Structure 1
Amino acid sequence: MKVSLITVSYNSEKTIEDTIQSVISQDYQDIEYIIIDGASSDATKSIIDNYKTDISCFISEPDAGIYDAMNKGINASNGDLIGILNSDDVYSNSSVVSDMVNALGSSDAVYADLVYVDFNNLDKVKRVWKSGRFKKGAFYFGWMPPHPTFFVKKECYLNFGLYALNLRSAADYELMLRFIHKNNIKVSYLPEIIVKMRVGGVSNISLKNRILANREDKKAWKINNIRPKAFTFFLKPLRKLSQFRI
C-alpha cells in the first residue's frame, strides 16, 4: 500500500525542518511525500530544497489558505492512503506510518492520539489528546479524532469530497464529520501517541478564535444537513479540559 504524506506550509522556517525529518525517518518503504507551500517569503523554500531528493512533489504558489493547500496535495497524490502533517508538527517516532498501515486493517481510515507540546521544547507536553475508539453517534457528544493523526484512503476523498473552503478553521472537523458520521466510513483506532503538535493551532490561539470555531462547528453540521443535539457544541470544547497538563 502506497502512503501519501502531505505537509502544507507558509513561512514555516522555524519548524519545517523538524517536520520533514520526522517524515523521511519513517521506516515504511512505500511513502510519497508531498509539500504544498503557499509562496513563503522567508527561508522555508530554501530549507525544503535541501531535502528535494526525499520529496516526491513540491509546489510553492499562492493559495486560498491551509485547506486549499491540503486539497492541492490530495489532488497531486498517488497513494492509496493519505495522511496530513502540518509544518509545525512532527511524528513521534520512526514507525508511525508502519503502525498506522497495520492498524488500518480492512477499514477506510485510521486515527490515533496526539500530544500538544511546547513550541521550543517538543518533549514538554502541554496537553494529551486521547480520543478513544469511535462509537456510533459519538460526534453528537463532542467527539472527534485528532486531525493530524487521521489517515484515510484516497477513495474516500474521491467519493465524498475534499476540504470545504468556505470554513476558515473547522474544515477538518467538517470533513471528518462528513466522512465518519454522515457517510459511515469504517474507522480503526490505534491507541498510541503518533503526533507531537506545537501549541498554537489556528482554532486554539485565542478566545475570539474559539468563538469563531464554535460558530464554524455549527456550520459544519448545517451544510451536511445533519441536526446536532442541543448539547453538542457545549460538550465539544468541554471535552478538552481533561486533556491539559497542569
Structure 2
Amino acid sequence: MKEPLLTVITVVYNNEKHIERTIKSVINQTYSKIEYLIIDGKSTDGTLEIIEKYKENITKIISEPDKGIYDAMNKGLKLAKGDYVLFMNSGDEIYDNQTVAKIFYDQAFADIYYGETEMIDENLKSQGQRRHKAPENLNLDGFKYGMSVSHQAIYIKKSMTKLYDSQYQLSADIDWILDAISKAKTIVNTKMYVARYLMGGMSKQKHQQSLIERYQIFEKYYGFFPNIFNHFIIALKLSTYYLKRGKTND
C-alpha cells in the first residue's frame, strides 16, 4: 500500500512559550512522509528564533502579516502538497511520536481519520478528555450537538478540503470540517488519542461571538428548526455538565 504524504500545518503568532513543543511533536514522528509548513504572522517575540532552530526539519517557513488565523491557515492549505492535511497550531501537539504511523499503517486508505483529544492547561497539566467525546461513527449527525472532533484530531484528504470561509473569525474550522464530512465516503475512527490541545484559545476569549458563528454554521448544515431543537439539547447537556464539573474543557 502506498504510504500517503501528510502535510502538517502550524499557524503561530508571538507564542515563544509553546511553539517548540508543537514543532517537536511533528518532527519527532516515526512516520517519515510528512511535509511540515509553519505559517507565522510576523512574530515580534522569540518565536522565529525558536522556529529557525528546527529549519532543517521544516519544509517551508512563511513569516508575514496576515488577516487572522484562518487567513494564515488558508496560506498553508494553498501550499500543501500532501495527500492529507492536519492542522497542529502552536501550543497543540500530536499525541506521541508514533501517532501518525499508527494511523496510516493500521487503517484503510480513508477519506478522513479522526480520534480523541487530550486537554492540557497553561502549565501543561492534563485536564483529561474533551467534553465532546469523539463519536463511534463520524457523520454530520455527530456534530449537531457541538464540535465532537477537534481540528487537531482530524486528518482529511487534501482533495476533499476547501479554503476556510473568511466570514467566520472564530469558528470557520467547524464549517471546514462539516464540509469535508459531507463529502467523505470512508471515515475511520482510530479509537485512540491523536492530539493534545492547549486550552484557552480565541474562541474562549471571545466566547459569545464564537457561539453566534457556530449557530449560523449549524443552521447552514442542519436547517432552521432542527438547529433550534439541537441547541435546546445542547443547553440541557451543558447544564448537566456544569452541575457535575463546574466548568467546561472544550
Q: Could you tell me the TM-score, scaled by structure 2's length?
A: 0.86
2:197 match: 197
2:183 match: 183
1:21 match: 24
Q: How does 1:70-219 map to 2 (within 5 A)?
A: 70-102=73-105, 104-120=107-123, 122=124, 124-129=125-130, 130-133=133-136, 134-135=138-139, 137-142=141-146, 144-157=148-161, 161-180=162-181, 182-205=182-205, 209-219=206-216
2:34 is the counterpart of 1:31: yes
CA contact (8 A) 1:144 1:173 kept: no
Question: In the aligned structure 2, how far is the partner of 1:239 from the partner of 1:22?
Answer: 34
Question: In the aligned structure 2, how far is the partner of 1:21 from the partner of 1:245?
Answer: 34
CA contact (8 A) 1:217 1:233 kept: no
Q: For residues 234 and 173 of structure 1, do their structure 2 counterparts lie closer, same or farther at Cα, with a shift above 3 Å needed?
A: farther
Q: Deviations over 1:92-135 (max 9, x none)?
A: 21011112223551321111111111212x3x222412312225
Question: In the aligned structure 1, how far is the partner of 2:49 from the partner of 2:235?
Answer: 38
Residue 156 of structure 1, CA deviation: 0.5
Aligned to 2:20, the other structure's residue is in SS state helix
Residue 35 of structure 1, CA deviation: 0.2
Question: In the aligned structure 1, how far is the partner of 2:221 from the partner of 2:86?
Answer: 23
Q: CA RMSD in A?
A: 2.4
Select the residue among 221, 227, 230 that pairs with 1:229.
227
Q: Could you tell me the TM-score, scaled by structure 1's length?
A: 0.87
Aligned partner of 1:229: which letter?
A: N
Q: For residues 44 and 140 of structure 1, do their structure 2 counterparts lie closer, same or farther at Cα, with a shift above 3 Å needed?
A: same
Q: For residues 219 and 27 of structure 1, do their structure 2 counterparts lie closer, same or farther at Cα, with a shift above 3 Å needed?
A: same
Q: Percent same amino acid among aligned pairs?
A: 32
Aligned to 1:137, the other structure's residue is in SS state helix
Aligned to 1:166, the other structure's residue is in SS state coil
Question: In the aligned structure 2, how far is the partner of 1:59 from the partner of 1:70?
Answer: 11
Aligned to 2:227, the other structure's residue is in SS state coil
1:69 match: 72
Gaps of 5+ in 2: none
Question: In the aligned structure 2, how far is the partner of 1:211 from the partner of 1:100?
Answer: 35
Question: In the aligned structure 2, how far is the partner of 1:49 from the partner of 1:167?
Answer: 32
Aligned to 1:151, the other structure's residue is in SS state strand
Residue 55 of structure 1, CA deviation: 0.3
Aligned to 1:229, the other structure's residue is in SS state helix
CA contact (8 A) 2:144 2:222 kept: no
